Structure 1
Amino acid sequence: MVKFMAKSFFVCLVLLIGVIIGIQQANEGLKKMRGYEATETLGALQIHEKENGELEASILGNKLTSQDIKKKQEQLERIESFNFFSELGKWLSNCVQTFMSTMIHLLSEQIEQWLNKDKT
């Protein structure tokens, strides 16, 4: 049994080292394929502070300002689209809630009647 466990541990260790080396090789291959070291594309979100203290963000290389965010928020508020599945889910949850509360109420009444019947 000890021999089996030692072999299993050794195999797992070799596979783990292989995965780590493979990840490193894939990273190096992506850097070579790109052809240059681009710091702005290494992360999805970059935040820089300007000289005047204002923050500037870029998501996947696209500049993003607070005015853009406000504009998009206003646009989303104007759309007010109807989501069929959301409304269906709300209706279904209300039906289940009403059904369960009714069943609990009826069950509690039956238990009270049963307990009162035993007392008399």
Structure 2
Amino acid sequence: MKKFMLKSFVAAALMFISVLTGMELANNGIHKMKGYNDPNFQNAVSIHENDKDFQATFLGKNISSHDLEAKKKKLEEMNAFNFFSSMGKKMSEGMTNASEKLIQKITE
């Protein structure tokens, strides 16, 4: 049993190290694929936060808090109906009522 646990631990550690090494090699490959060292090479996501406002860049597109607020307003105006959300609310109300009735019957 001890040998099996030791072998399993060694195999798991080896796989973990292999994954980390593979990620590092993939990152180096991405940088080499460009063919030159570009100082403008950007990350996929970057966030810059000021006093009350924040600016995010996602895949080269600028996103600000004003954009998010406008989208939120638009969704609220549309009164989007989410079937699963309403079903979840009904199920939770039903479970609450059922548990309350069960507790009342037990305490009587």
Counterpart residue number, 2:46: 45
1:22 alignment partner AA: G
Name the SS for the 1:39 alignment partner: coil
**Aligned residue for 1:85?**
84
TM-score, scaled relative to structure 1: 0.63
Structure 1 unaligned segments of length 5 or more: list them.
110-120
SS at match of 2:30: helix
Specify the code of the residue in structure 1 equivalent to 2:97: T
- When residues 16 and 67 of structure 1 are mapped into structure 2, their CA distance, relative to the original with a 3 A threshold, is closer
Indicate the SS of the match to 2:48.
Answer: strand
Distance 1:67 1:24 in 2: 37
1:31 deviates by 1.7
Q: CA RMSD in A?
A: 3.0
TM-score w.r.t. the length of structure 2 is: 0.68
The alignment-based identity, stated in percent, is 29
Map of 2:105 onto structure 1: 106
Which segments of structure 1 move beyond 6 Å, counting only runs of 4 or more? none
